[in-house]
Structure 1
Amino acid sequence: MTEQNSNLTQALTKQVEQLGALVAMLEKELQLISSREAETLMRLLEEKTTLLEAIQTLDGNIERMIASETMLSEEEEALMQQAKSLLEDCKYRTQINQKAVEQGQLRLTHLRNLMMEVRAKESLTYDKKGKPKGGTLGSGVSA
């Protein structure tokens, strides 16, 4: 095995480790999204950004190493396949997290609308004839 191959194997091994860490991070991200722990989630997102930058840098280095290779060893091929599999898992988990965030936003919008309806009902008054009439909510706004 040449030094170039050894460096490529080490880089691919590190990439697999980083992608594995990203999978774990995405799983934790989903838990934090579900539990609405905003502060912890923000710290995790900063860590995730740092990890993604490291993965991107290493990916560029690996690409250059592979370009100078004529043929990859079986170990390198296996590491490449493992990295691709982890990458697909990361993409899938990212989609799940995105849907969780979207669902959370929909729930917040629904809750806000319900609260506005309740406020509108609370401000309901009656006119001289006993008919329901919306009260005013500030200057010139009526419910």
Structure 2
Amino acid sequence: MTAQTDFQTLLNNQLGQLTALEHLIDEEKAVLQKNSPDALVDISEKKNQLLVDIQELDQHFRQSPEFTAAKKAGQFADTLTAIEQTLLRCKEKNHVNGMVIQQSQLAVERMKTELLQQRNKSSVTYDSKGKTSGGLSSLGIKA
């Protein structure tokens, strides 16, 4: 096998890894929408391992002067384009998932505030960040 064939095989592996990552991100979104924390932990572990594998392969490419020269010569252009497009889709989908997580956290914070206010309206206080908390600290009682 030539170095070119080896690099093409490695690039195909990386494209496969990114495609698998894209599918995991899609699964992650579905799990986020279902509010299934156990499944989310499992997907997060798989996602982290896949990202480590992708990073290791990237490092291999960066350290190879032969690959850099072949890339500058225009070799592997189709595969590299497919990799870049898949990576962009992964970034966009991951951003959407981040927004879903952020919205979920805001909803939980609103629910917490509402529950605290309902528990005892007179004991609700605000901390230095403007978040509410309940307790007897407003009465000067320390536990």
User: When the two structures are superposed, what TM-score results if normalisation uses the length of structure 2?
Assistant: 0.79
Give 2:82's aligned amino acid: Q
The equivalent of 1:118 in structure 2 is 118
Q: Distance in 2 between matches of 1:48 and 1:29?
A: 9
CA positional deviation for 1:114: 1.1
Over the residues paired in the alignment, what is the CA RMSD in angstroms?
2.3
User: Would you say how many aligned residue pairs link Structure 1 and Structure 2?
Assistant: 126
- What are the Cα deviations for residues 31-77 of structure 1, in whole angstroms up to 9, with x where unaligned? 1112111111111111111100000111122232422436243xx21
Question: Are 1:83 and 2:110 an aligned pair?
Answer: no
- The answer for unaligned runs of 5 or more in structure 1 is 124-136
1:99: Cα distance to partner? 0.4
Unaligned runs of 5+ in 2: 124-134
Using the aligned pairs only, state the percent identity: 22
The offset of 1:98, in angstroms, is 0.6
TM-score (ref. length: structure 1) = 0.79
Q: Greater RCO between the two (CA within 8 Å, min separation 6)?
A: 1
- Measure the CA separation in 2 of the matches of 1:12 and 1:47: 21
After TM superposition, the runs of 4+ consecutive aligned structure 1 residues lying more than 4 A away are none
Larger Rg: 1
